[in-house]
Amino acid sequence: MSTIELEKQISGPAPGLESHRKPASLSGKILIGVTGGIAVGLSIVCYPFVAPALRRHCLPFVPATPKQICNVLSFVKPSNGGSRLLDIGSGDGRIVIAAAQAQPSIKADGVELNPWLVYYSRLAALRNGVLNRTSFFRKDLWKFSLAPYDHIVIFGVEQMMDDLEKKILKEAAPGTTVIACRFPFPTMQTENRIEEGVDSVWVYRPVPKLTSKTDTPTDA
């Protein structure tokens, strides 16, 4: 055997080794593709839950307990002509749905940034027979008008209550009932409250209800 032939045998692949490499390479590509697909899928699913946390203020999704719902509804008193309720950061829609079920004269809305929770809320409203009296909006709460509502419910976080108080004072209609859960507003005067730990609620009427001339007392 010549020196050249010997070098080719040493530098070239071992007999039978190349035939075993192709299946391994194909399996590796399949594994990488599947892993990458799973990672992309998880990113798509998780992004709506993670994205709000990237904002200056966010409302984490913490489902309301049955006791919290009961405490909130105890202060929802719709007028004879009908009322509109807004749940800020409505999550899975349970407050909105419960209000619509408890008060047939009320129109209840929820505003929520997470699209999956908005879709779930709409399905839950359909399943509970109140779809025609509920609406769920995928909106940024800071850009959502509070003016049309006479009941506003908020399950807030402590860091956002100051900014939210300013928004309510600026936009809420006269006579609006504001129900804060878990955390009170920093300076707004409380009208009523139920203090039960995490189920606590505080009730406010930040803008006094305007009285008509006939309701104004006169001097005798």
Q: What is the dihedral of CA 91, 77, 142, 117, to 10 degrees?
A: 10
Provide the pLDDT confidence category of residue 3 given band limits of 50, 70 and 90.
low
Q: Across residues 14-21, what is the average pLDDT?
A: 50
| Per-residue model confidence (pLDDT) at position 14 | 53
Indicate the range of 31-45, 48-62, 82-96, 130-144 predicted with least confidence.
48-62
Is-above-0.85 flag for pTM? Answer: no
CB atoms within 10 A of CB 63: 11
pLDDT over 70 (residue 184): yes
Six token digits for residue 213: 């001339």
Domain ranges of the chain: 66-204
The residue written with tokens 């800071």 in the block is 142
Across 66-95, average pLDDT: 92
Task: For residue 28, give both structure tokens.
Answer: 């590796």
Write the CATH number of the domain with boundaries 66-204: 3.40.50.150
136 is written with which tokens?
């769920």
Dump pLDDT digits (tens) for 86-144.
999 999 999 999 999 999 999 999 999 999 999 999 999 999 999 999 999 999 999 99
Q: What is the pLDDT of residue 181?
A: 92
Task: Tell me which of 72-76, 117-121, 154-158, 184-188 is least confident.
Answer: 154-158
Per-residue confidence (pLDDT) for residue 147, from 0 to 100 = 93
Which stretch of 72-86, 115-129, 167-181, 199-213 has the lowest confidence by average pLDDT? 199-213
Tokens of 216: 């104004």
| Segment 143-155 mean pLDDT | 94
Spatial distance between the Cα atoms of 137 and 141, rounded to a whole number of angstroms: 10
Alpha helices in the chain (DSSP H): 3-11, 17-50, 66-73, 94-102, 115-127, 161-171
